[in-house]
């Protein structure tokens, strides 16, 4: 008995219906899973920004003082209150984040050493901080909870210049600076004066270092390498003298090798520091009414200054879930 073409069509129709049903079932299952996933919450943020109208001077080195605050710069809420002792009281329970932006002053001619600033929390129920009389900054033991702390070097790093000049990106080509000291007599030396590739970085009295690629154990031997002395001295504007001294009782021959020179502007920027502006933030944390927020600063240089500027502020943010 032969099977008709209608039977073949029926089989195809059943396969198509079965496939469609499976697809509908998978789609329904996917929709069910999507409906069971929690939605991403959204939040409204209220903000108050506090600042100061006068620069604050640190009277002693290494001690921690409360950073003075004197004004509300902007606000859209009553979540917190600024007090005369430069602390901020939380009025409404919620999830908060506190930010501190500092603006240390620039200084020249001395090393201002390490600078530190931070955000502190004193829980509700603790005694309030007693402000120093006469408008002086308030000294604290800094034993309250640290919400954020940042340490900064007080002095900027020296300006540097290298020979050969390093490559800058993929378009630059590194050009080595070969030097052939040749044979150096016992107790003698060989010198070369080089011009640094970037002008007005170093001059006489600055610091410099040098190396030569042929002064290696494999080429000269360990005992010779240990004895040879290579020095670099800035002798004029942009000019450095590199010298190799042979203290041995026998001559030493140094073949051609690449010379490397690194110079630093020790005298042009002695102890200098540019303005140090930086921002730090606490994590988001739950605060309750009566909690006290305040900010602190200290420096290892007495007389260091936190400037009054738009870049110096404390911002208190409260997050309220809206969906």
User: Which 3-state string (H, E, C) describes 87-150?
Assistant: CEEECCCEEEEEEEEEEECCECCCCCCCEEEEEEEECCCCCCCCCCHHHCCCEECCCCEEEEEE
Reply yes or no on whether the pLDDT at 265 is more than 60.
Answer: yes
Pair of tokens at residue 200: 């007005």
Reply yes or no on whether the pLDDT at 215 is more than 60.
Answer: yes
**Model confidence band, residue 166 (pLDDT cutoffs 50, 70, 90):** confident
**Model confidence band, residue 79 (pLDDT cutoffs 50, 70, 90):** very high
pLDDT, mean of residues 182-192:
97
CB 225 within 8 A of CB 217: yes
Helix, strand, coil percentages, rounded to 5, for the chain: 15, 40, 45
On the CB side of 38, CA atoms within 13 Å amount to: 4
Q: List residues bridging with 316 in a β-sheet.
A: 48, 98
The C-alpha angle 282, 283, 284, rounded to 5 degrees, equals 115
For the entire predicted model, the pTM comes to: 0.60
What is residue 17's predicted lDDT score, i.e. its pLDDT?
Answer: 47
Domains (range + CATH), the chain:
43-155+274-321 (2.60.120.40), 160-167+175-264 (2.70.40)
CB 259 within 8 A of CB 194: yes
Pair of tokens at residue 46: 């209220």
Please confirm whether the linkage preceding 144 is cis (ω < 30° from 0).
no
SS3 of residue 19 by DSSP? helix
Instruction: Calculate what percentage of the chain has a pLDDT beyond 90.
Output: 66
Closest by Cα among 213, 220, 216, 212 to 253:
220
Pair of tokens at residue 317: 């943010």
Write the CB contacts of 196 (distance below 8 Å, at least 6 apart in sequence).
161, 163, 202, 238, 239, 240, 261, 263
**Model confidence band, residue 34 (pLDDT cutoffs 50, 70, 90):** low
Write the CB contacts of 46 (distance below 8 Å, at least 6 apart in sequence).
76, 77, 79, 317, 318, 320
What is residue 3's predicted lDDT score, i.e. its pLDDT?
Answer: 47
């Amino acid at each position: 008995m032969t099977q008709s073409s209608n039977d073949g069509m029926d089989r195809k129709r059943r396969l198509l219906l079965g496939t469609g049903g499976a697809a509908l079932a998978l789609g329904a299952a996917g929709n069910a899973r999507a409906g069971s996933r929690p939605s991403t919450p959204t939040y409204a943020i209220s903000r108050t920004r506090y600042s100061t109208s006068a620069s604050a001077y640190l009277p002693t080195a290494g001690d921690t003082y409360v950073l003075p605050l004197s004004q509300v710069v902007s606000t859209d809420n009553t979540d917190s209150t600024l007090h005369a002792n430069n602390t901020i009281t939380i009025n409404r329970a919620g999830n908060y984040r506190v930010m501190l932006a500092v603006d240390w002053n620039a200084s020249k001619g001395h090393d201002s050493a390490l600078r530190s600033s931070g955000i502190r929390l004193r829980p509700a129920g603790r005694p309030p901080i007693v402000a120093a009389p006469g408008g002086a900054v308030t000294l604290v033991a800094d034993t309250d909870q640290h919400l954020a702390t940042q340490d900064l070097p007080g002095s900027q790093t020296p300006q540097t210049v290298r020979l050969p000049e390093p490559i800058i990106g993929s378009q630059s080509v590194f050009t080595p600076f070969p030097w052939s000291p040749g044979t150096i007599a016992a107790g003698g030396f060989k010198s070369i004066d080089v011009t640094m590739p970037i002008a007005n970085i170093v001059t006489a009295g600055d610091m410099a270092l040098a190396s030569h690629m042929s002064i290696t154990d494999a080429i000269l031997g360990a005992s010779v390498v240990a004895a040879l002395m290579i020095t670099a001295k800035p002798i004029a504007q942009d000019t450095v003298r590199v010298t190799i001294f042979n203290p041995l009782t026998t001559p030493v021959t140094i073949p051609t090798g690449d010379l490397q020179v690194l110079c630093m502007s020790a005298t042009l920027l002695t102890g200098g520091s540019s303005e140090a502006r930086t921002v730090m933030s606490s994590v988001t944390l739950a605060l309750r009414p009566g909690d006290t927020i305040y900010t602190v600063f200290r420096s290892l240089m007495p007389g260091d200054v936190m400037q009054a500027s738009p870049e110096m502020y404390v911002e208190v943010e409260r997050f309220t879930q809206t969906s």
